[in-house]
């Protein structure tokens, strides 16, 4: 079945450091891939998405590239800020099968000043 695996956190970085959060997936068909972010006390917000292989999603300085050959969708940011501290979720959907999204377990990011 379809699944998503994220690196375990927490990830602790200093402000202005480079961020990578790894995400790999297992899926049949041609899923769309998503990154969501959850700030403390809030719901999940869509951060970026990619719908086909080699697409790059980007938003607010974050980027992720849909790599079919390595079944990966790693999240990157060149220079993190304290305000980026949150939990990040990788997710996939299979447009051919159902409305459901499959989420990874989430990675907590803590950015220190």
Partner 1 sequence: ETGVTQTPRHLVMGMTNKKSLKCEQHLGHNAMYWYKQSAKKPLELMFVYSLEERVENNSVPSRFSPECPNSSHLFLHLHTLQPEDSALYLCASSQVRGSEQYFGPGTRLTVT
What number of CA atoms fall less than 13 Å from residue 66's CA on the CB side?
20
Is there binding between residue 70 and partner 1 (CB under 8 A)?
Answer: no
Quick one: 3 or 14, whose CB is closer to partner 1?
Answer: 3
Which tokens in the block code for residue 65? 């590239």
- The reply on whether position 44 binds partner 1 by CB under 8 A is yes
31 CB burial (10 A radius; 0-12, 13-18, 19+): buried
CB of 113 to partner 1, least distance (A): 26
Question: What residues make contact with partner 1 under the rule CB under 8 A?
Answer: 31-32, 34, 36, 42-46, 49, 89, 93-101, 103-106
């Amino acid at each position: 079945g379809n699944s998503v695996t994220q690196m375990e956190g927490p990830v602790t970085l200093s402000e202005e450091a480079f961020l990578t959060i790894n995400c790999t997936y297992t899926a049949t068909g041609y899923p769309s891939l998503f990154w969501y972010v959850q700030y403390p006390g809030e719901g999940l917000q869509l951060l970026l998405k990619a719908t086909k292989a080699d697409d790059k999603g980007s938003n607010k300085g974050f980027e992720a590239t849909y790599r079919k050959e390595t079944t990966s969708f790693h999240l990157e940011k060149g220079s993190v800020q304290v305000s980026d501290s949150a939990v990040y979720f990788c997710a996939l959907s299979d447009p051919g099968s159902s409305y459901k999204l499959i989420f990874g377990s989430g990675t907590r990011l803590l950015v220190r000043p």
